[in-house]
Amino acid sequence: METNKDKAELRADRESEELQNDREIVIAAIKNHGYVLKYAIAELRADREIVLTAVRENGFALEFASAQLRADREIVIEAIKSHGLALEYASAELRADREIVIAAIKNHGYALKYAIAELRADREIILTAVKNYGYALKYASAQLRADREIVLAAVENYGYVLKYASAELRADREIVLTAVRENGSALEFASAQLRADREIVIEAVKNHGYVLKYASAQLRADREIVLAAVENYGTALEFAGENLKADREIVIAAVKRNGCALRYASAELRAELER
């Protein structure tokens, strides 16, 4: 038997469906929040005026447009003006359009991810992308991840992307120094030779003490470097040379930063400081 509750829910569903079918209501809604295009019926998601209004308010509304309108150049341009990452929802043909891809990455460099392979091997496009958003280097062609100017621009913007540079450039002192100054974590991806470079390691641990972990064994036994590391990140004491875990000044500096660092001190110092 149909209850009053069932009737009310059915009536609400019908009213909701009627609202989603009402062009005037949908237009009013998307002017306020373009993403609600998601809830419009298929016919209205294929309505050019409605979709254009939606993507101008929120580029990501492009995801819910009909396939035909996701291949509409004007609509896609308006969507990526709103947010470059809306390129993801453009047709394959338009993701292969150089002008559109450049417009998208100027808005957000990470949009490079959605460009076709040919354009991810385009030097001008990659340089534009990494200057806007260094992490875009991840999606560049192998050849361009070995391009010194491009990699330097990328690590200046976001040091951690040293991870995606060619092996040769991860052994380039200027590039690695630039990377660790921007983000100490980049030290992990430097060549073994540069992880034994005192200036580079000092810059890295000043930025993030934890990366003492990636320094050479010799530098993890360097008092100045270890002190700089634990002052930045107390539990970096874990990666210090055994002799420095018994160094009173270093251990005290570490536990001041983070009391949990005490567990990495030598047994003798730990016993003394726990008293």
Structural domain ending residue among the three candidates 91, 113, 135: 113
Is residue 22 domain-resident? yes
Is residue 142 domain-resident? no
Nearest alpha carbon to residue 176 among 189, 105, 164, 230: 189
What is the reported pLDDT for 5? 44
The string of pLDDT tens digits covering residues 229-250 is: 999 999 999 999 999 999 999 9
Q: What angle do CA 103, 182, 201 make, to 5 degrees?
A: 150
Structural domain ending residue among the three candidates 89, 113, 137: 113
Is residue 195 domain-resident? no
What is the reported pLDDT for 14? 42
Determine the Cα–Cα distance for residues 6 and 121; give it in Å rounded to an integer: 59
Is residue 47 domain-resident? yes
Domain hosting 58: range is 15-113
Is residue 85 domain-resident? yes
Is residue 161 domain-resident? no
The string of pLDDT tens digits covering residues 99-139 is: 999 999 999 999 999 999 999 999 999 999 999 999 999 99
One-letter amino acid of 250: I
Instruction: Tell me the pLDDT of the chain averaged across its residues.
Output: 92
pTM, two decimals, is: 0.83
* Total domain count, the chain: 2
Q: How confident is the model at residue 6 (pLDDT cuts 50, 70, 90)?
A: very low
Is residue 19 domain-resident? yes
Structural domain ending residue among the three candidates 113, 143, 162: 113
Is residue 152 domain-resident? no
Q: How confident is the model at residue 275 (pLDDT cuts 50, 70, 90)?
A: low
Considering Cα of 93, then 95, then 98, then 99, what sign does the dihedral take?
positive
The string of pLDDT tens digits covering residues 154-201 is: 999 999 999 999 999 999 999 999 999 999 999 999 999 999 999 999
Nearest alpha carbon to residue 25 among 45, 3, 46, 40: 40
What is the reported pLDDT for 196? 98
